[in-house]
Each structure stands twice: as C-alpha cells, then as structure tokens.
C-alpha cells in the first residue's frame, strides 16, 4: 500500500495581516518513495511552493472576505486541489486563476453547508463567534462594511470582492465565478447598490 506523504511549505510572513503560526500541509497524494526524482514532479513541487509563497496571504484574505468561517482550511484545500491537477494547467497565470476560482467555489459550498446546519442549531446567527482568522485580518473600521457585505447574496458578494478588493478585470471575475461577463456586471451593480443602501442604513 502506498503511503500518503505530506509536503510542508512554510507560511510567508504577511506584512499587513498576521496569519496562524502553524504551517499548513499540502498533501502529496500517494507518491512512491523516490518519485520526486522525476523532473515533472520536481517542477510541480517548485511550482506549487512558489504559488504558495506568492498568493497564500491574498487567498486567505479572499476566503475571509467571501465569508468563510474556516478560511485557512478552505485555502489549504484549494492548494491541495491545485497540487493534484498541476500538470493540467498551462502556466503560472492559469494556476493563479484556478486557485482563485477554487477558493470561491469552496467558500460558496462551505457557506451553503453552514446555512443548512444552522437551520438545525438553536444558537441564533448573531451569537455565532467570528473565526480567529477573520478577526486578525480585519481592522475595526472595516468590520461594519464586512458585516454588510456578508449579508449580500453569495454571487453579489463574490463579484464585489473580486472587483473592488482584488481589482480583477471582468473577464477574470467571470472565470473565477464561472459565469459570463454580462452576469458579472449585473451582480456587481446589484451588489454595490445593496451594499450602499445597507451602509447608509447603519449611519
């Protein structure tokens, strides 16, 4: 039976937002001993490590802004998936886009799952405690905005975060969300209008 190995990749220090001190593990799916002598495997190891170094903090922040209650696990799963599918990707830009799309999809699925679970839990949503990652990544003056943002429908929230926080183009947002550019415009406009109304109501 093949043993499941793990590749430990160091967490880069974030200048503006602290992350957990523990080092997430990117699982190596059942590689036999000595497999990393294969140039293709060595290239994948180096590529994923580089992607981790460049984008881990921004992917973690993306998951937080999209409303994930466990952003570190979401991002770790996204890196695991990209590790498995590395050879199918065309280049580093395609890898970044796939990673971003995966974080969006995983967060959306996670939120849906939590919504189902919370229907059977007596604790009201207002009493749920925010994750440590969310607290660490958000400043006091941002929390009101984030609370309002997380009240939006998932697609509107994603469109606004990808457009105004990450500064992506419409085509990049469409690829990340798996929708057309026209739908991106619709979700962005509706989300911005709803967010503006919510913020004005809180003043």
Alpha-carbon gap, residue 116 to 110, rounded angstroms: 10
Question: With bands split at pLDDT 50, 70 and 90, how would you rate the model's confidence at 183?
Answer: very high
Mean pLDDT lowest for which of 47-56, 85-94, 121-130? 121-130
Match 């939120």 to its residue by tokens.
111
What does the pLDDT look like over 80-93, one tens digit per residue?
A: 999 988 888 767 77
In this prediction, residue 139 carries a pLDDT of 55
Residue 103 has pLDDT above 90, yes or no: yes
In this prediction, residue 195 carries a pLDDT of 87
Burial pattern 129-148, b for ≥16 Cβ within 10 A else e, equals: eebebbeebbeeeeeeebeb
Closest-CA residue to 93 (of 190, 186, 4, 176): 176
Question: With bands split at pLDDT 50, 70 and 90, how would you rate the model's confidence at 38?
Answer: confident
What phi, psi does 26 have (nearest 5°)? -105, 110
Residues above pLDDT 70, as percent of the chain: 65
What distances in angstroms separate CA 183 from CA 2, 81, 203, one per listed residue?
45, 27, 30
Mean pLDDT for 133-140 is 51
Alpha-carbon gap, residue 132 to 135, rounded angstroms: 5
Residue 74 has pLDDT above 90, yes or no: yes
| The model's pTM | 0.67
**CB neighbour list of residue 55: distance below 8 Å, 6 or more residues apart:** 96, 99
């Amino acid at each position: 039976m093949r043993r499941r190995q793990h590749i430990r990749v160091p967490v880069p220090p974030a200048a503006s937002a602290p992350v957990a001190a523990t080092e997430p593990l990117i699982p190596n799916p059942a590689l036999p001993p000595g497999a990393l002598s294969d140039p293709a495997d060595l290239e994948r190891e180096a590529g994923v490590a580089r992607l981790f170094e460049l984008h881990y903090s921004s992917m973690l922040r993306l998951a937080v802004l999209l409303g994930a209650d466990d952003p570190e696990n979401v991002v770790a799963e996204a890196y695991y998936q990209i590790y498995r599918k590395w050879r199918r990707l065309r280049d580093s830009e395609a890898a970044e886009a796939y990673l971003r799309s995966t974080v969006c999809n995983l967060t959306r699925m996670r939120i849906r799952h939590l919504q189902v679970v919370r229907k059977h839990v007596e604790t009201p949503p207002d009493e749920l405690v925010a994750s440590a990652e969310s607290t660490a990544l958000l400043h006091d003056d941002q929390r009101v905005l984030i609370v309002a943002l997380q009240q939006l429908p998932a697609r509107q929230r994603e469109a606004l975060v990808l457009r105004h926080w990450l500064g992506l183009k419409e085509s990049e947002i469409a690829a990340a969300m798996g929708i057309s550019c026209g739908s991106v415009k619709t979700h962005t406009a509706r989300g911005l209008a709803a967010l503006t109304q919510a913020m004005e109501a809180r003043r």
